[in-house]
A and B are shown apart, each in its own frame.
Chain A
Amino acid sequence: GENVEQHPSTLSVQEGDSAVIKCTYSDSASNYFPWYKQELGKGPQLIIDIRSNVGEKKDQRIAVTLNKTAKHFSLHITETQPEDSAVYFCAASMWGGQGAQKLVFGQGTRLTINP
């Protein structure tokens, strides 16, 4: 089955700097890669996702890049702000096909933005 590895487990950056979180996956059949943000005491929320027919996707200060050959994808946050402090999870699955998508999550990265 799919296995997703996420690094680093903790990341601390100065406000205004960029943050990068990296994930690798094992199943070459995976073609859907979302990122979730979890604030303290809350459930995870989707912030951006990418499918394997594109290599990069941007949404304001957030971008995700995908390298299918190397089986890794990354989350980039630019101009970080205090409200970006949270735990971030990457995930991988197949899109469509039989049954519901069964997302496999990475271990999570606790991002702290220092003022």
Chain B
Amino acid sequence: IAGITQAPTSQILAAGRRMTLRCTQDMRHNAMYWYRQDLGLGLRLIHYSNTAGTTGKGEVPDGYSVSRANTDDFPLTLASAVPSQTSVYFCASKPLAGGTGELFFGEGSRLTVL
């Protein structure tokens, strides 16, 4: 079982460019999340989705967009990257019903915006 797969694992990007971080899960989890991790700030929620076709804003949504066309995929797009978006991005998922509450994380995508 692969769990959650994120791509790319690492990327250097020029400011102003568009970038999509990909996230795919094979656990048929309803809920999916995008977090960014910055030193001293922990993990902050960017966007989330309770189920396919719905999305919601987290703590730090500005500059990011998401879509949830199906259960498995939850891409995160930076329309015009800025240096403050340099971070490590984690995708996570969990079942909404019948689960223990555990979030399952991918291994992260390290993004550097110059």
Spot the interface stretch: A12-20, A42-50, A53-61, A69-77: A42-50
Q: Is B31 an interface residue (CB 8 A)?
A: yes
| B105 engages A45 (CB within 8 Å) | yes
Number of A-B contacts (CB under 8 A): 64
Chain B residues, Cβ within 8 Å of A45: 105
Q: What's the nearest-Cβ distance from chain A to residue B27, in Å?
A: 14
* Chain A residue contacts of B105, Cβ below 8 A: 43-45
**Chain B residue with the shortest CB-CB distance to A101:** B101
B42–A46 contact, CB under 8 A? no
* Size band of the interface chain B makes with A: 20 to 34
B43 touches A46 (CB 8 A): no
Q: CB distance B43 to A44 under 8 Å?
A: yes
Q: Does B50 lie within 8 Å of A99, measured CB to CB?
A: yes
Contacts of B42 in A (CB 8 A): 4, 6, 89, 105-108
Interface centre among A45, A100, A105, A108 (most CB of B within 10 A): A100
Show the binding face of A for B, using Cβ within 8 Å. Answer: 1, 4, 6, 9, 32, 34, 36, 41-46, 49, 89, 95, 99-108
Interface residue ranges, B against A (CB under 8 Å) = 4, 30-31, 33, 35, 40-45, 48-50, 56, 58-59, 90, 92, 94, 96, 100-103, 105-108
9 smallest beta-carbon distances between A and B, as pairs:
A43-B105, A100-B31, A105-B43, A107-B42, A105-B42, A46-B102, A100-B50, A108-B42, A43-B107
Q: What are 5 A-B contacts with C-beta separation under 8 Å? A: A45-B105, A99-B50, A101-B31, A101-B94, A105-B42
